[in-house]
Structures are given as structure tokens and as C-alpha cells.
Amino acid sequence: MIQLNINGKPCQVDVAPDTPLLWVLRDTLHLTGTKYACGVALCGACTVHVDGVPTRACVIPVSSVAGRQVITIEAVDQQRIGQAVQDAWRKLDVVQCGYCQSGQIMSAVALLAANRQPTDADIDETMAGNLCRCATYQRIRAAIHEAARALA
């Protein structure tokens, strides 16, 4: 049994310790907002926060997050930055297919937590790890600026 803390709630899971956190979130806990798309930390669709740090859940073994605070898209609205980012995403209708957007939002929240007034260059640098095949990138940039304004 591995002790986890997901979205502020303690829980125990009985899985092989090398199982990536992604599959524990999805298949064991049915927190399906965190997405599988590449499995090798190349696309960012599975981004979650581990102790506040954006982390690719597809390559981090579940055993290594034991006892640490894991936050997923399902709880990102519990804090002010997360709410502001979601609001900006909705106001500007960033999403198209939506499959990558949980990861985009988790990365954007972490960016704004570290840098309240990111420039386009800051956004490009941080968000370049998150692929969007629908190429909603222009709106992602705009929405991050929008969220930054709302948080100012």
C-alpha cells in the first residue's frame, strides 16, 4: 500500500510502486482530468503539481510522490490562481478539442505562481513543454495575460 495525498485528501493505493502517477490517478482513482498523450514527458498533457511544482505524471513513479501533496486539474480551482486561469480560459474560449488543456492550465498556474507578470517570452519558454495539436497557442498566451491582469 502506498500512502498518497491527492488534492488535499489522503488515500491509499495498492499498485506496483513503479506505476506512473498518471495511471494511478486515472485508472485507480478515476481522476480522469489528467490526460495520457505521449507517456514520455514530451507533451505535458499529464501535468500535475507535486508540492507545487509542475510535474509530468506519466513518468514519475507513484512511489516517489508518497507523502507529497499532489494537485490535479480537478482541484485547481480551489486556489485563487487556478480560478483566475480557468476564468481567463473560459472568457477567451481557449479550448478546441480540450484534451491537452488540463495540462496547459496546470502549467499556466505554476507559471503565474512564480511570475505574476509574465511576458510573451516567459510564456513561450514555460509553456513550450505543453503541446496543443489544435494550436490554441495564441489564445493560451492571451489567457495567461488575462489571468495575470485579474490577479494583479
Partner 1 sequence: MTGIGIANLSRRRFLRGSAGLTLGFVLPAAGAAAVRAGGGPPAAATFAPNAFLRIGTDNTVTVLSKHLEMGQGTYTGLATLLAEELDADWQTVRVEGAPADARRYNNLFWGDAQGTGGSTAMANSWEQMRKAGATGRAMLVSAAAREWQVAAAEIVVRESVVSHPPSRRRATFGQLARAAAAEQVPARVFLKDPSNFRLIGKRANRLDSVDKTSGKAQFTQDVFLPGMLVAVVAHPPRFGATVKSFDVARARAVKGVVDVVQIPQGVAVLAIDTWSAKKGRDLLTVVWDESNACKLGSAEILARYRELARTPGQVARRTGDAEAAFARAARVVRASYDVPYLAHAAMEPMNCVIRLSADGCEVWNGEQMQTGDQHALARFFGLRPEQVRIHTLYAGGSFGRRASKDSDYVLEAAAIVRAIDGRAPVKLVWLREDDMRAGYYRPLFHHSLAAAIDADGQLTGWRHRLVGQSILIGSPFEKAMVRNGIDAVSVEGAANLPYAVPNLTVDLHTPTDIGVPVLWWRSVGSSHTALSSEAFLDQVAAAVGKDPVALRLELLAGHPRHAGVLKLAAEKAGWGTPLQPGMAGERRGRGVAVHESFHSYVAEVAEVTVARDGGVRVDRIVAAVDCGIAINPDNIRAQVEGGVGFALSAVLHGEVTLKEGQVEQDNFGNYPLLRINEMPLVEVYIVPSAAPPTGIGEPGVPPLAPAVVNAILAATGKALTRLPLRTAELAA
Q: In the window 77-136, what residues touch partner 1 (CB under 8 A)?
A: 77-79, 81, 86, 89-90, 93-102, 105, 107, 110-111, 113-115, 118-119, 121-136
Q: How far is the CB of 15 from partner 1 (least distance, A)?
A: 8
CB of 49 to partner 1, least distance (A): 7
Pick out residues in 4-33 that bind partner 1 (CB under 8 A): 6-9, 11, 15-16, 19-20, 23, 26-33
Residue located via cell numbers 507523502? 67
User: Restricting to residues 28-87, which ones interact with partner 1 according to CB under 8 A?
Assistant: 28-45, 47, 49-56, 59-60, 69, 71-75, 77-79, 81, 86
In the complex with partner 1, which residue's Cβ is closer, 7 or 148? 7
Sheet containing 69-71: which strands, arranged edge to edge?
9-13, 2-6, 69-71, 47-50, 53-56
Q: How many residues does the chain have?
A: 152
* Strand, helix or coil for residue 61: strand
DSSP 8-state assignment for residue 7 = T
Number of residues that bind partner 1 (CB under 8 A): 94
**Least Cβ distance, residue 98 to partner 1 (angstroms):** 3
How many CB atoms are closer than 10 A to CB 98?
13
Task: Return d(Cα 38, Cα 55) in angstroms, integer.
Answer: 14
Nearest CA to 17 among 69, 64, 71? 64
Q: Which is nearer to partner 1, 125 or 149 (CB)?
A: 125
